[in-house]
Amino acid sequence: MALFNAASAGEAHDTLLACLRSPRWAGRVADHRPYPDLDSLLAAADEAAYDLRPGDLTEALAGESLPALPEPAYSAAHTALGAAHAAYESRFGHVFVICLDEVPADEALDRLLGAIRSRLAHDPEEERVVAAEELRRLARGRLVRAVAGQAGPRDRQRHAAARQPAPPPAPEAARH
């Protein structure tokens, strides 16, 4: 945490953009430094992710790449996944995003194929909500990994569960 807090504004912004390709999100999280601990940083990152406007979400989704395929996947699975990705991008206009941080490697391909097939049935607004949540989870995991080398052993142990999803945001009216 100390290195992240002490980093220049540009370095902190770049680190955050590597977690989520939204300049607004990165700026908001960077501008609230210093953070006393990882929990505080993750809470600020979640809050900023929940507040992404549609244009911010579109920008963040445009910066994402396809999830990596597991090495032992068969070529037929690669073909099926490629076709599913193409169908998804055609339907929703952006790359499919999913956080597989807590999924064992041997289950990742099945989970990925199942999720993309399931989510193809969503209407565009429903999928935008799901994609936003997946982006938030991806950013959270990336942020934990980005500062993990800076945390002491006690912090790493204490924050091992930090990659668990945060509860959904309160409805807009309830936040004011």
pLDDT in tens, 78-96: 788 889 999 999 999 999 9
> What pLDDT score does 30 carry?
97
Cα 77 from Cα 62, distance rounded (Å): 25
> What pLDDT score does 74 carry?
58
> What number of H helices and E strands is found in the chain?
9, 0
- Pick 16 or 167 by higher pLDDT: 16
> What pLDDT score does 131 carry?
96
Cα 156 from Cα 147, distance rounded (Å): 10
Q: Which pTM was predicted?
A: 0.76
Task: Kindly state the average pLDDT of the residues 95-106.
Answer: 91
Per-domain residue ranges of the chain: 2-61+137-175, 70-130
What length does the chain have?
Answer: 176
> What pLDDT score does 71 carry?
60
Q: Which amino acid is at 8?
A: S
Contacts of 39 (CB under 8 A, 6+ apart): 159, 162
> What pLDDT score does 109 carry?
84
pLDDT in tens, 21-57: 999 999 999 999 999 999 999 999 999 999 999 999 9
